[in-house]
């Protein structure tokens, strides 16, 4: 089972993800958790994927905290899908794109309860009061429907709902690191810590959550400014405008050539030995 969560603003972005899943994983059911979005879009959404389920929810709109609330929306469908389908479940941010079949990732889920991109070296102080705001990247979350996998999803959702209901800030900017920190990512790691002695965790290989857009990666993640990368833009155009895709592909080839030339010149300059003094 594959799933994402978004609102009307990011539906067109999710469209690209959903279509990429239909291309590379057509037999996998897709669950779309859709917040504050009119049902008039349902017919066209169903044309994006042969096995898509749309769950509509309506939440009170909070201008100040909406971005953080939407980032925290993922925990609800993760728990629900695991409990109802009892299938291995992969959550995908709406700004991710599937580039190859997920066969290997589903095989990894046969032995692990949880796979998330893990960055132990990052110690960013989060809104929930820990230094774990960036330890996990929540763009791709894979959970096995084992007893402990289900408990993890329930724990994560409970922590997030309680934190949001407390009225505490859901997102904050850390100037010293030049990053925004979000409650959903921090509490994802906190939920793991609470169950780490019982859960079988495996760090998600980078190729399943890649913001550098390497050629052999399976899932590209256009987070933040990375979404402006030419390779990511080209991949999106494949699903939205085939003519522009082919035209932009020419630009990307030239861009790659120029970048390679610049890289070669830089290496030669760095390797140039200074003249020996007599």
Domain boundaries of the chain, sorted by first residue: 2-222
| Domain formed by 2-222, architecture | Alpha-Beta Complex (3.90)
pLDDT for residue 274:
59
What own/partner pairs with CB < 8 Å and gap ≥ 24 does 222-226 have?
Answer: 222/95, 222/96, 222/97, 223/93, 223/95, 223/139
Give the Cα separation of 262 and 270 in Å (integer): 12
pLDDT for residue 271:
80
CA of 190: how far to CAs of 141, 155, 159, in Å? 15, 9, 9
Give the Cα separation of 179 and 204 in Å (integer): 22
pLDDT for residue 275:
55
pLDDT for residue 64:
79
**Orientation angle between helical segments 242-271 and 230-240, nearest 10 degrees:** 170
Nearest of 258, 236, 234, 257 to residue 246 by alpha carbon: 234
Per-residue pLDDT tens digits of the chain, which is 278 residues long = 999 999 999 999 999 999 999 999 999 999 999 999 999 999 999 999 999 999 999 998 887 778 888 888 999 999 999 999 999 999 999 999 999 999 999 999 999 999 999 999 999 999 999 999 999 999 999 999 999 999 999 999 999 999 999 989 899 889 888 888 999 999 999 999 999 999 999 999 999 999 999 999 999 999 888 999 999 999 999 999 999 999 999 999 999 999 999 988 888 888 875 555 54
pLDDT for residue 263:
87
Give the Cα separation of 87 and 105 in Å (integer): 14
pLDDT for residue 273:
58
Give the Cα separation of 248 and 235 in Å (integer): 10
């Amino acid at each position: 089972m594959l799933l994402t969560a978004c609102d009307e603003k990011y539906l067109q972005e999710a469209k690209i993800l959903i279509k990429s899943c239909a291309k590379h994983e057509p037999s996998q059911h897709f669950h779309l958790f859709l917040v504050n979005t009119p049902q008039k879009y349902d017919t066209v959404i169903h044309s994006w994927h042969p096995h898509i389920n749309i769950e509509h929810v309506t939440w009170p709109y909070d201008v100040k905290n909406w971005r953080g609330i939407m980032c925290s929306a993922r925990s609800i469908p993760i728990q629900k899908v695991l409990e109802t389908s009892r299938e291995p479940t992969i959550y995908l941010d709406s700004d991710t794109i599937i580039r190859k079949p997920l066969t290997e990732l589903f095989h990894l889920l046969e032995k692990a309860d949880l796979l998330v991109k893990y960055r132990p070296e990052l110690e960013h102080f989060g809104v929930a009061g820990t230094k774990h705001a960036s330890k996990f990247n929540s763009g791709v979350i894979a959970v096995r429907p084992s007893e402990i996998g289900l408990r993890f999803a329930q724990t994560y959702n409970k922590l997030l709902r309680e934190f949001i209901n407390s009225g505490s800030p859901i997102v904050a900017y850390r100037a010293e690191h030049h990053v925004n920190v979000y409650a959903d990512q921090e509490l994802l790691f906190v939920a793991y810590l609470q169950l780490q002695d019982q859960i079988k965790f495996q760090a998600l290989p980078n190729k399943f959550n890649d913001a550098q857009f390497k050629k052999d990666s399976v899932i590209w993640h256009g987070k933040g400014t990375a979404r402006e990368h030419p390779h990511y833009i080209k991949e999106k155009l494949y699903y939205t405008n085939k003519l522009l895709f082919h035209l932009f592909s020419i630009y990307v080839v030239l861009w790659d050539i120029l970048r390679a030339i610049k890289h070669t010149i830089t290496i030669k300059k760095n390797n140039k030995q200074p003249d020996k003094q007599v």
